[in-house]
Structure formats: C-alpha cells, structure tokens
Structure 1
Amino acid sequence: MLRALDRLEEILIATLIAVATLIIFVAVAHRYTLGIFADVVSLARSNDIPWLMAASRSAYFGLRSVNLVWAQELCIILFVWMAKFGAAYGVRTGIHVGIDVLINKMSPTRRKAFILFGLMAGALFTGIIGTLGANFVWHMAHTDAISPDLELPMWVVYLAIPLGSYLMCFRFLQVAATYARTGELPHHDHGHVDGVDEDAAASAIAMSPLTPKDA
C-alpha cells in the first residue's frame, strides 16, 4: 500500500511538472511566433512584396485566433499543486534543507529526542494547516467562486492545500515511526542520478582521456 502511494506521488509530481513545462513552452512559442509574423508583415509591406505580406498576415491572424490566455493561470495552479505534493515527497526522501550542526553534537539519546520532537512538530503543523485548509475548501465549495480564465471552481484549486498538507503530515509521522524504530532518517545523495550506475560512471570517468593520470 505504501509502495503504491509512493509511486502515485512520484507520478503525480512528474506529470504536473511535464504538463506545466509543455504549456509554458507552447505559450511562449505562440507569443514569439506572433511577433515574427508581425515583423514579416511589416518587412513585406516596406519592400512591396504583396504575396509575402498576404501569407504572413493570414498566418498571423490564424495563429492569433488560438486563445492561450488561460495558460498562465493553469501553470500557476499546476505549480501550486506540484509544490504541495513535492513538499511531502521531500519529507519522505530527506531533501528538505535543515541545519543540524548543534543536533549532531548532542549525545545519541538527546539527539534522538530532539529529532523526534522536530518530526512530530512538523506533523502537528502540517496537520493543522490541512485541517484549516479542508475547512476553507468546504466553505468555498458552497460558493459560486470560479477562477478568472479557466472558470474552474475555486474549491478545486484550493483542494491542493488539505490534500498536500495531510500527505505531508503522514510523511512526517512515517519518518518519525521509522526513525524511532531503526534510528535512520531518509537521506538524499545530491550527487546521485537515478538510472545511472555509479560504478560504471566512475570507471568511465577514470578511463577518459580528459582525466589526469598519475605520473
């Protein structure tokens, strides 16, 4: 069950990133292509090239008929959802930044107590935010509020708050339970790349002609 939840979390975050990136690319390409066609129309007019001016004007108005006003709003919504679920993913994988200089200088018993306190404080905070967010969404669902461009019900947009916060709360509790049982915290190796065999990569670097060789 937990493995399925982990996989679903990863797929959701990757999908949100991919869709937002694609929409941003299309919107930017659309805007700059309109500018190019407008410049070509001006160039053709100044150089008296009627066929080029007609073709460029036709392409300009055809592309302009494609309405992408909603793209910015949708990308903002996607990034908000991605941030909320990405924060929960960060707790699970240990990629959140923390200052643990003083904690690491403590005795093992005191260090464990402080870490558990921090994890439970995180669970309490995110649980409160999730509950407040759920209450807000509940009241928002009984209104007619919609988003300006997409005209989505606003309660759907704000649903990311309780869902993401409750998932983050669960991850804090999950990490706390694992730490209390095994004494291990999730740790993210910033030098690791998924799908790359580190031993093979190290051998390839060592054999590279660009790698300095010992005399």
Structure 2
Amino acid sequence: MTMLRLMWDRFEEALIVFLLAAMTLVTFVYVMLNNIYTLFYAIGEYFAEGSEATSEFFYSIGDFFLDAVQTMTWSNALTKALFAWLIFFGLAYGVRIGGHIGVDALVKLTSRSVQRVIAVLACLFCLGYAALLSVASFEWINTLMQAAIGADDLGQFGVQQWHIGMIVPIGFTLVFIRFVEIFVRLVRNQQVGLGLADEAADAMKLSETEGSKK
C-alpha cells in the first residue's frame, strides 16, 4: 500500500512537471517562430540590391517560418487545455502538500479539541463539495461525449471537447480522495487542522530567519 501511494505521488508530480513543460515548450516555439521570420526578411532586404537570388533565398525561408506560424492557430488552444488540466489536477496536489491557503486565524485562537471538531466539520463540507462537483461534472462530460463536438482549433487533430473537460470530474474526484485521507487522519487524531498553508506563519518564520542572519 505504501509503495502504491509512493508511486501515485511520484506520478502526480511527474504529470504536473510534464504539463508545465509542455505549456512552456509550445509557447516558446510559437513565440520563436512568430519572430524569427522577420529576421530572414530583414536579411533578404539587405541583399536585395546586391544579389536578387540571395535575397529571394532568405525571403523564401522567411515565408516558410511565416506559414508555420499561421498554421499554429492550435497552439493557443493547446496551451489553454494544458493549463486547465494543470489547474484541476493541481487542486488535489495542493490539498496533499497543504498548498491551499487556510482562512483559520480565529479558529487557531480556540483549544486544540475545538480546532479538531471544526476541522472535521470543514472536511465534511469539503467532501460534500468535491462529491457534488464530481457528479455534476461527470454528467456534463457525458453530455459532451454524446454531442461529440470538436475542440476549438484542436478538432483537426481529433480532439473533442470532452477530452479536455474530462479533467474536471477527475480533478474533483482526486480532491475528494485527498480529503478522505485528511478526514481519516482527523478521526485518528493524527492531525488537528486541514493542513492548509498559513501565510502569516510562513512570513513570521521568514522574518525570524532573516533577523537571525543579521
């Protein structure tokens, strides 16, 4: 069970890295192609008076890159799709690492037993919310599957809208699973709160660290 959990955690991290890298690569290629053709046009213009053949050669290269840019209308749609997958897959990852910001300043003024009760109630609300959106989004994806509508600018590659949108029920299902894990730890008294990020505490630690260095 521990090995399976470790494998899933590593897969989760690897997928997030892949999505970020793919977004960066697609954007980089598009920006480069969108600017490099002007360089060859400038070189062609430089040789225009001296050698017409050389000038036409560089112009043709510029035309090639310009055509490549014009055919990359799908790049923006692909980047949006990857970003959507990153957001909804990252929801569960954020719960796992405590990356979501906790609004619990008043809660922390209470005793540990009260904090634990409040955390259990909050966790139940989160479970209900995640379950509701998982079911609702699954019905939405089922409708898109039946409609078989192509995704904007990606339909030419056989990508349909439900291919992109399926991350919504997957993401909220993973969020539900992560909160189930938190709920189990709360019931077993292995933790007090939801384990969310505390920006104020982090800022205080950073301030204390900088002060000790001085």
TM-score normalised by the chain length of structure 2: 0.81
Counterpart of 2:187?
Answer: 180
- Give distance in 2, aligned partners of 1:126 and 1:70: 32
Structure 1 residue ranges without an equivalent (≥5): 191-201, 203-210
Residues 171-209 of structure 1 show CA distances to partners (whole Å, capped at 9, x for unaligned) of 11112212332125546699xxxxxxxxxxx9xxxxxxx
> Map of 1:155-194 to 2, 5 A cutoff?
155-181=162-188, 182-183=190-191, 186=195
Residues 61-118 of structure 1 show CA distances to partners (whole Å, capped at 9, x for unaligned) of 1222322211110010001001101111000110111122101101111111111211
Amino acid at match of 2:67: S
- Deviation of 1:20 (Å): 0.9
Amino acid at match of 1:12: L
1:19 correspondence with 2:22? yes
**Equivalent of 1:113 in 117, 140, 143:** 117
Residues 90-148 of structure 1 show CA distances to partners (whole Å, capped at 9, x for unaligned) of 00110111122101101111111111211221121111111111001111101131112
> Map of 1:27-176 to 2, 5 A cutoff?
27-45=30-48, 50-66=52-68, 67-151=71-155, 152-176=159-183
- Give distance in 2, aligned partners of 1:174 and 1:180: 10
Amino acid at match of 1:116: V
Q: Secondary structure at the match of 1:141?
A: helix
Contact kept, 8 Å, 2:149 with 2:160, in 1: the verdict is yes
Amino acid at match of 1:183: Q
- Give distance in 1, aligned partners of 2:18 and 2:198: 23
Larger mean CA deviation between 95-104 and 76-85 belongs to 95-104
Amino acid at match of 1:4: M
Q: CA RMSD in A?
A: 2.5
- Give distance in 1, aligned partners of 2:95 and 2:74: 32
Structure 2 residue ranges without an equivalent (≥5): 200-208
| Greater fraction helix | 2
Q: Secondary structure at the match of 2:146?
A: coil
Percentage of matched positions with identical amino acids: 23
